[in-house]
């Protein structure tokens, strides 16, 4: 670290402390040339993830937009805000852990649908009807039928495990 007083690049760390939320480290340093002390802060560099929308435009990933969409799908359903917040955090983690500088809105929508499928069937169908842009009632019916068959197979698997 370059000394702000004399420009020397050799310094030693005297003290290190994390801030309260653990996102930053404060370091007290002493310049080996002039002996003066200074403070530096280390933070994780977050490279923004860009979302490529269906029309080809790009915008920075915003978890609050994901949360708004989920809340609309869960309106008047028995789903707690804690469950919604956890789902948003899971989606944000998955997007960041994809290690891609750009992800598609379809990728994010699929993550939301996967999470909603586990939380609530009605919220899932509501979100899927917007995300997949069902053309007619038959497409919606096919989606509901696949959801019902998935639930039935999961129930059969659970019953086999109990025996």
Quick check: 122 and 70 in contact, CB under 8 A?
A: no
* pLDDT per residue as tens digits for the range 92-137: 999 988 889 999 999 999 999 999 999 998 998 899 888 777 767 7
Neighbouring C-beta atoms of residue 57, cutoff 10 Å = 10
Place of tokens 């403070």: 39
The beta-carbon contacts of 122-125 under 8 Å, at least 24 apart in sequence, are 122/77, 123/70, 123/73, 123/74, 123/77, 123/79, 124/73
Is the pLDDT at 146 greater than 80, yes or no? yes
- Give the residue extent of every domain in the chain: 11-43, 50-132
Output the six-digit token pair for 112: 């939301």
* pLDDT per residue as tens digits for the range 16-47: 999 877 778 999 999 999 999 999 999 877 78
> What per-residue confidence (pLDDT) applies to 153?
78
* pLDDT per residue as tens digits for the range 69-89: 999 999 999 999 999 999 999
* CA 139/CA 26 separation, integer angstroms: 56
Please give the average per-residue pLDDT across 130-147, as a whole number.
Answer: 78
């Amino acid at each position: 670290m370059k000394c702000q007083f004399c420009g020397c690049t050799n310094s030693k760390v005297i003290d290190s402390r994390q801030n309260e939320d653990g996102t930053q480290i404060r370091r007290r340093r002493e310049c080996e040339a002039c002996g003066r002390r200074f403070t530096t802060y280390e933070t994780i560099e977050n490279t923004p993830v860009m979302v490529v929308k269906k029309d080809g435009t790009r915008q920075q990933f915003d978890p609050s937009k994901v949360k708004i969409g989920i809340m609309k799908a869960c309106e008047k359903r028995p789903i707690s805000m804690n469950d919604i917040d956890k789902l948003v955090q899971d989606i944000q983690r998955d997007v960041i852990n994809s290690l891609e500088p750009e992800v598609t809105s379809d990728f994010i929508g699929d993550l939301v649908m996967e999470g909603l499928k586990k939380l609530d069937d009605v919220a899932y169908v509501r979100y899927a009807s917007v995300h997949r842009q069902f053309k007619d009632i038959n497409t919606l019916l096919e989606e509901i039928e696949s959801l019902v068959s998935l639930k039935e197979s999961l129930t059969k698997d659970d019953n086999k495990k109990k025996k």
